Amino acid sequence: MALKTDSNVYTVIFAAIMVVVVGSILAFLASALRPNIKENERFEKQQNILYAMGVNENGDDTGSVNFIPTDVVENEFASYIKEQLVIQGDKITEDNEAYLIDLKKQLANIKKGEDYKLPVFIGEKDGKKFYIIPMYGKGLWDAIWGFIALDDTMTVQGVYFDHKGETPGLGANIKMRYFMDDFKGETILNGTQYAGIAVAKGNNDPLNKTKDDNEVDALAGATITGNGVSAMISETVKLYKPYLETIRAK
């Protein structure tokens, strides 16, 4: 007997079975792969933090970034990152897993007026101290995030940016070296005020030689993503200002 594929009953049953089958396949896959994915995400965070403080495998070309290899990142992270702090209001505590704190959730808590935790990582390389702060913001299409490494004079020692869905070739280039490298040496202070760093269109210093103008050259065709990066940095600086003040006072 041929199937009556046009009847309403058949259609409903077919839809129901399809939903169950597809749902089960995806649920099974998601739970089976979850441990691996979590592990990869953890390593990625460690790689990003180390990248911001200049621990990476970058070569001479200024294209894409090269992280510390995944198989050694855990040990490297433990050897370079000396302290992981969590700021909760006026209280600062140590937490060895502060890097796993989801900044997005904490920012949402701040908006709701609830308690929040802000992580800071203190790294040491060649006898120099780095204060690495996570950032989270909005680009053109979706979330952007990253890390900024400062020294005790509030000079940027390195940054790392990443994005969820910025346009390839345009906004997605915030994670290219030629953009990120420009931040190195810029100060987030304008005199004594915390100014952040603006991604400026029409910057007349494309070689980025002036390092105290709080500006880096924008990416062509990526105005909104660039503005998102500027906003993300200044919001983060505002948020961490009380802590940054304590570093400067030292």
Q: Which residues bind other proteins (CB under 8 A)?
A: 3, 5-6, 10-11, 14-15, 18, 22, 25-26, 29-30, 33, 36-37, 40, 44, 61, 63-64, 70, 164-170, 172, 176, 206-207, 220-221
Q: How far is the CB of 123 from other proteins (least distance, A)?
A: 23
Closest CA to 148 of 137, 242, 37: 137
Q: How far is the CB of 207 from other proteins (least distance, A)?
A: 6
Strands, E assignment, the chain: 81-88, 91-94, 118-125, 128-138, 143-150, 156-163, 189-190, 193-194, 198-200, 215-217
Q: How far is the CB of 3 from other proteins (least distance, A)?
A: 6
- In the complex with other proteins, the residue whose CB is nearer, 89 or 165, is 165
H/E stretch holding 247: helix 223-249
Q: Other CB atoms closer than 10 Å to residue 9's CB: what's the count?
A: 8
- In the complex with other proteins, the residue whose CB is nearer, 137 or 171, is 171
- In the complex with other proteins, the residue whose CB is nearer, 44 or 151, is 44
Closest CA to 245 of 95, 131, 145: 131
Q: How far is the CB of 37 from other proteins (least distance, A)?
A: 5
Q: How far is the CB of 11 from other proteins (least distance, A)?
A: 4
- Between CA 1 and CA 249 the distance in angstroms is 85
Q: Other CB atoms closer than 10 Å to residue 169's CB: what's the count?
A: 10
Q: How far is the CB of 33 from other proteins (least distance, A)?
A: 4
- In the complex with other proteins, the residue whose CB is nearer, 66 or 124, is 66
- In the complex with other proteins, the residue whose CB is nearer, 48 or 230, is 48
- In the complex with other proteins, the residue whose CB is nearer, 63 or 89, is 63
Q: How far is the CB of 244 from other proteins (least distance, A)?
A: 30
- In the complex with other proteins, the residue whose CB is nearer, 40 or 109, is 40
DSSP labels, 29-59: HHHHHHHHHHHHHHHHHHHHHHHHTT-S---
Whether the CB-CB separation of 149 and 186 falls below 8 Å is answered with no
DSSP labels, 114-141: ----EEEEEEEETTEEEEEEEEEEE-SS
Closest CA to 186 of 159, 161, 222: 159
| N residues, the chain | 250
